[in-house]
A and B are shown apart, each in its own frame.
Chain A
C-alpha cells in the first residue's frame, strides 16, 4: 500500500509539475552576460544583397520612407550600443509594406518589420523588444545554412500564386466580375498571413527562447520598460488565437463541403514540411484551381499551426518563460515609463508629422483593401475616402497605397484611374514586384509586348534579376516570338534547384 501511495504521489507530482525549463534560457544569470558573438560576420554580410532582393519581391515591397527607416534603425542601434560585436556585424532595419503583425531577421542582421506590426505597437519599448529579439537571431547565428534557399523557394511559390490570382483579377475586369477581384485580393491577404506565420523559415523553440532572453536583456539595458515585452507577447497570442479561429472556420467549411479536396488533404498531412508536401505550382493549369489551391494552402497552414505545436512555440508559453526569467533576473528593477512612438499623440519627435501621415495613409489603404476584398466591410464612400487619403502625400507614389487604389478602381470599373495608380506606383521610389506584374499582365492582355518587355527590363534591374521574375520574363519573350531567348533563360530557372520554378519556366516557354 505504501508503495502504491508513493507511486500515486509521484504521479500526481508529475501531473501538477510545471513544464520543464526551456533550453533556450540560461540556467542562471542574464543571457547577455554569457554572450559570445562570432568573431566575424563577413560571410553573412555578403549574403545581404540576396536576402534583401528576396524580401523586396515579397508582398508589396518595402516602405520607402527614410524617416521611418532612420527611426527604427535608431531604436535598434540604441539597444546594441556598447554590446561587444565585431565591425562585420552591421545591423539594419527595413519596413515591409504588409498589413500583418510580423517580423523576421535575415542572416546578415537586417531586421524586417511589417507596417502592420508598427501600427499595432503601443510604444517604442515594444518595438525595442521586437527588434532586440529579431537581431538576436542574427547575432547568435541561428539561421540554418539553407535559410536563403528556403526563403527563395517561398518567394517563388508565393509570387506564382499571387501572380495567378492577379491574372485572374485582371481577367475579371473584362467580365465585370468584381467578385473574382475581391476573391483574388482575399487570397493575397491570406498568402501574406501564410508567409508570415508558416512558410517563412522558422527558428526552433530553443532559438526563440534564446532570442527572447537576449532581446529582453538588450531592451532593458537600453532603458526600456521590461513589461513591454509581455505586451508584445499578448499581441502575438492574439494573432495565434485569430489563426486558430480561422483554422476552426476552415475546418467547419471543409466539413460542410463534404471533406477536404485532394490537394487540401495532401497538405493537411503536415504543411510545415512544405517542401516535401507535393505542392506543385506546375500541376495547376487553370486560374480558378490556383486560387482554390491558394485558399487550401492557407487553410492547411492555419490548421497545422493550431494543431501542430512541434515547430511552433505558442506565445502564451513564451510569455510564461519570459516572466520566470524577468522574475529571476530583473525583479528589483523599478517600474519604468514607456517611450512614445514618434507617431503617437504624446510624441515630441520632429519626425512626428511625417510619420503620423505615413502610418495613417497605410492604415487607410488597409481599410480600402478590406473593402475591396469584402464589400460588406465598409461602404463605397468610406472606401473612396480611404483611397484618397492613402494616395495623398507623402504616400502618393508608394507601391502599397497605389496598388490598393488600383484595385479599388478596378472594382469600380474605372480602368483609367486604375492604370494611373499603377503607373504612379511603378515610377515611385520602391515599386513592388506585384505592381510590375500587374502592369505587365495588362500590357500582355492587350498584346502590347513592347511595353511589357520594357517594363520587365526595368524590373530585372530593380529586383536584381530575381528568380521570381523568370517565368514572366520567359512568357513575354515567348509571346513576342523570341523563343531562342526564352529558351536561353531556362538554365537560369534550373540553377535555383526549385522544381516548381523550373516547371513554371518550361510552361512559360511553351514546353509541356
Chain B
C-alpha cells in the first residue's frame, strides 16, 4: 500500500512535468521571455518610456519572444501580438548565443575572439570597430 506521501509525490510529478517542460521553452527559437518572475509584470511603451499596462503573473504569456534589447537592459517582448518593453527583473529570460550581457567590453582594440580563461564569454561578440 502506498502512503499518502507517495501519492502526493506522484501527483506532484504529474503536474510538475508539463510545467517544467514548458519552462524550458525549448521549442522557441531565439531570445525568449520564459515566464513572469515577479507577481506582476509592468509593460512599458518604450525602453525609456512610461508604464502602460500591468499583467498579473499568470497572465503574462509563456515563451514570449524577445525582439530587441535596449542599452538599459529593457527587453522588447511580443505579448500576444503587441510589442512592449519589460524590465528584465520581472521576467525569466533566456538568450540564444552570446549577446551583449556576456560580451566583453571590446571597445579597446583587440579583434581576436576571447579564448582561455574567459572563453565563451566574448565569443561572437560585436567587434570594436563595428560597435554594438
Contact = CB atoms under 8 A, between A and B. Distances in A.
A360 B108 contact: yes
Q: Which of B4, B38, B44, B112 has the most C-beta atoms of chain A within 10 angstroms of its own C-beta?
A: B112
Given A16-B16, A364-B109, 9 more contacts: A4-B7, A118-B105, A120-B103, A120-B105, A234-B102, A235-B101, A335-B85, A359-B107, A359-B108
B15 interface: yes
Nearest to A123: B71
Contacts of A481: none
B116 interface: yes
B117 A100 contact: yes
Interface of A: 4, 7-8, 10-12, 15-16, 99-101, 116, 118-123, 189, 192-193, 225-228, 230-231, 234-235, 238-239, 242, 320, 322-324, 326-327, 331, 334-338, 341, 343-345, 356-357, 359-360, 363-364, 366-367, 369-370, 373-374, 377-378, 382, 386, 389
Interface stretch (B21-29, B58-66, B86-94): B86-94
B118 A322 contact: no
B59 to A, nearest CB: 16
B116 A369 contact: yes
Interface string B26-46: 000000000001111010100
A61 to B, nearest CB: 17
Q: Dominant SS at the A interface?
A: helix
A11 B118 contact: no
Contact of B110 (A4, A118, A360): A360
A321 to B, nearest CB: 11
B121 to A, nearest CB: 6
Contacts of A235: 101-102, 121
B108 A192 contact: no
B101 to A, nearest CB: 5
Q: Which of B42, B106, B118 has the most CB of A within 10 A?
A: B118
Nearest to A196: B117
Interface in B67-113: 71-74, 85, 87-90, 100-110, 112
B49 interface: yes
Contact of B116 (A122, A225, A226, A366): A366
A341 B44 CA distance: 26
Contact of A327 (B38, B74, B103, B110): B38
A62 B37 CA distance: 40
Given A122-B101, A377-B116, A225 B72 contact: yes
A238 B4 contact: no
Nearest to B125: A120
> What 8 A-B pairs are tightest by C-beta distance, nearest first?
A360-B108, A11-B8, A370-B116, A360-B109, A227-B73, A15-B12, A327-B38, A323-B89
B109 A226 contact: no
A411 to B, nearest CB: 15
7 contacts: A230-B88, A231-B101, A335-B72, A363-B109, A364-B109, A367-B115, A378-B115
Contacts of B44: 335
B18 interface: no
A230 B73 contact: yes
A341 B108 CA distance: 12
A503 to B, nearest CB: 30
Contacts of A228: 73
A99 B122 CA distance: 13
A336 B73 CA distance: 10
Given A119-B104, A230-B88, A337-B48, A101 B121 contact: yes
Given A225-B73, A234-B101, A326-B89, A99 B117 contact: yes
B30 to A, nearest CB: 17
A392 to B, nearest CB: 11
A382 B112 contact: yes
Given A323-B38, A337-B72, A363-B104, A386 B110 contact: yes
Contacts of B102: 120, 234-235, 238
A374 B117 CA distance: 11
Contacts of B47: 335
A231 B73 contact: yes
A386 B116 CA distance: 14
A123 B9 CA distance: 46
B37 A116 contact: no
Contacts of B120: 238, 242
Contacts of A101: 118, 121
Nearest to B108: A360
Contacts of A322: 89
A389 B115 contact: no
B38 A99 contact: no
A356 B7 CA distance: 62
Given A335-B44, A363-B108, A323 B116 contact: no
Contacts of B128: 345
A65 to B, nearest CB: 14
Given A327-B39, A359-B108, A389-B109, A366 B118 contact: yes
Given A238-B102, A326-B89, A366-B117, A7 B38 contact: no
B123 to A, nearest CB: 11
A370 B115 contact: yes
A118 B108 CA distance: 12
Contacts of B109: 356-357, 360, 363-364, 389
A455 B106 CA distance: 37
Contacts of B112: 367, 378, 382, 386
Most buried by B among A192, A239, A338, A345: A345
B110 A227 contact: no
B34 to A, nearest CB: 12
B89 A192 contact: no
Contacts of B50: 334
A377 B72 contact: no
A74 B120 CA distance: 31
B52 interface: no
